[in-house]
Structure 1
Amino acid sequence: MHAPSWAPAPPSPSPTAPAAASPAPTARSWKPSPPATPSSASTTPAAATPPRSTTPLSLDDLADQLVAAAVAEGLDTFAVSGYSLGGPVAIRAAARHPERVTALVLTATFPHPDNRLMLATSLWRKLAESGDSGMLAEYLTMMAVGADALEAIPDEQLQQAVGFTAASIADGTPEHAELAPRVDVRDDLAHIKVPTLVISTIQDWFTSTRLHRQLADGIPGAQLAEIRTGHLPMVERPDEWQQLITDEPHQGCRHRLGQYRHRPRGGLPMFGWHDPVPC
């Protein structure tokens, strides 16, 4: 396969401009940018970083912030795309605000952490708190990149990727890692009544395919699609990943990405971004 490029992204408005802070070579290096439409909300600049949270992050608060931000942009109803820890936030937003959320797209995410994810996030948090950004970057690169993509990266570019990752680690990473083990949206799943697409990253070392299937099985009528990547489909196979989302119409609502992005207080540095899209 073609090795993904880990070079730092150019500034906006390039289609690959940074979109959310990330300690891994992840969302900082991509940003889907479909054509604007009259109903599109404006994109929040990546530089508009919220202050670091001084209290433990709350799933309910993050979900409410997400919806409030979309409403403030003039969106009465919208689809929500949730990636990784953004998935539970998106699910909780749909459960708490059913009058607003019309569809869900859930990528590389989970309803609750299994033992692997518990161990992975525990080590992630300890490395983040240690201040050793180089060691944390090596860990995240190893864990986040799928086996096919990782082996396709030349040695020199791999070291560049680790260095870029180390320089990109967000200050709020420990708070983010602390939230992950407390997430549990299993009771919300049966109450989700909107069209839902679950995208399973089948080489994912953070969130397993078992967790992806639990989401698809638990949400009534959810569709499951697979993509052969690790935790970074938007980097490893960006065209395939975006096609899965943009080409999946559900009851007249197409899940277009890149038209509005919200980053709630606390930063959610690696595991999540959420993207309300007008329907």
Structure 2
Amino acid sequence: MPFLHIAGERFRYETTGLRKGPALVLAHSLGTRLEMWDALVPHLAHRLHLIRFDARGHGRSAAPDAVYSMGDLGRDLINILDALDVPQAHLCGLSLGGMVGQWMALNAPQRLNRLVLANTTAHAGPHRLWEGRIKAVRKAGTAPIADAVVESWFTPAFRQATPAEVARVRTMVAETSAAGYTGTSCAMRDMDFRHDLSHVGTPTLVVIGAQDRSTPPEWGELIASHIPGAQKVVLDTGHMSAIEAPEAFAAALTRFLA
């Protein structure tokens, strides 16, 4: 799998699908990597040029031991698009990826065509909750929290029906470096776009999981109600809607991008 070297840092990426088709960036959640989108890719590759990458702090991309900001993650994406000679793209981000999408819409809207914000939020909750998780991961790494994370991400029915898929995602969480996880957690802790959403001019679709415990439906509803002209779709899933319901997710995304 190829790498880009940008300003002395390495980023793993993958491009698949229709090379001359519209470009669609898929941005993953905290604690996963580009393989998070594996179930969705077959439903989209015949019509879109798909770009996936490991975000800073994840997978095999650079994971400096530092406090990251949402701007750091957004500028990483801009640099990746520049390196791939993609002046403008659709962006679909889930959870953390949706937060990066909001940053892009507010700070680099000229790089976006359409925006899909899935299972995400404009504000990720009280600082004290993040501080507790950051402290725990710095002390013991990500493996001890992996079970609790995936339990909160998937519905009980999905966990029971597809234990191998849940285990695959759990492995991604457990293999995320402590430095990368905590650095990214700082970016999520410090993010607050709630008062800026009315300035988003990019056509936007908000995907909400009806059983999402990590970013509850009301958080997605807030985004949809504050971005002018935003569309909304509710899927009967937990947090990882693109994994639990890839066909329904792809259908909603395809309708919106068309």
Shorter-chain TM-score bucket reads 0.7 to 0.9
1:106 maps onto 2:113 in alignment: no
**1:220 corresponds to which of 219, 228, 235:** 228
Counterpart-to-counterpart distance in 1, 2:103 and 2:117: 12
Larger proportion of strand: 2
1:144 maps onto 2:140 in alignment: no
Amino acid at match of 2:116: V
- Helix, strand or coil at the partner of 1:216: helix
Structure 1: stretches of 5+ with no match in the other structure: 1-11, 255-279
**1:49 corresponds to which of 60, 78, 87:** 60
The match for 2:249 is: 241
The match for 2:238 is: 230
Q: 1:97 to 1:13 in 2, by over 3 A?
A: closer
Larger proportion of helix: 2
- What's the RMSD between the two structures over aligned residues? 3.4
- Helix, strand or coil at the partner of 2:196: helix
The match for 2:49 is: 40
- Helix, strand or coil at the partner of 2:199: coil
- Helix, strand or coil at the partner of 1:247: helix
Percent of aligned pairs sharing the same letter: 23
Structure 2: stretches of 5+ with no match in the other structure: 1-13, 18-26
- Helix, strand or coil at the partner of 2:109: coil
**2:96 corresponds to which of 85, 88, 113:** 85
Contact 1:22-1:169 at 8 Å conserved across structures:
no
Counterpart-to-counterpart distance in 2, 1:77 and 1:248: 17
The match for 1:4 is: none
- Helix, strand or coil at the partner of 2:218: helix
Amino acid at match of 2:45: P
Counterpart-to-counterpart distance in 1, 2:106 and 2:62: 27
Q: 1:189 to 1:23 in 2, by over 3 A?
A: closer
Amino acid at match of 1:81: C
Counterpart-to-counterpart distance in 1, 2:166 and 2:77: 35
- Helix, strand or coil at the partner of 2:67: coil
**2:210 corresponds to which of 171, 181, 202:** 202
Contact 2:206-2:233 at 8 Å conserved across structures:
yes
- Helix, strand or coil at the partner of 1:135: helix
Counterpart-to-counterpart distance in 2, 1:29 and 1:66: 17
Query: Which gives a bigger RCO, structure 1 or 2 (Cα 8 Å, sep 6+)?
Result: 1
The match for 2:10 is: none
Counterpart-to-counterpart distance in 2, 1:128 and 1:112: 21
The match for 1:130 is: 139
TM-score with structure 1 length normalisation?
0.69
Amino acid at match of 2:202: V
Contact 2:92-2:98 at 8 Å conserved across structures:
yes
Contact 1:41-1:75 at 8 Å conserved across structures:
no
Counterpart-to-counterpart distance in 2, 1:74 and 1:238: 29
Q: 1:234 to 1:162 in 2, by over 3 A?
A: closer
Matches within 5 A, 1:54-73: 54-73=65-84
Contact 1:216-1:222 at 8 Å conserved across structures:
yes
| Superposed CA offset, 1:240-274 (max 9, x none) | 1122212223xxxx4xxxxxxxxxxxxxxxxxxxx
Q: 1:78 to 1:126 in 2, by over 3 A?
A: same
1:181 maps onto 2:189 in alignment: yes
Counterpart-to-counterpart distance in 2, 1:179 and 1:105: 20
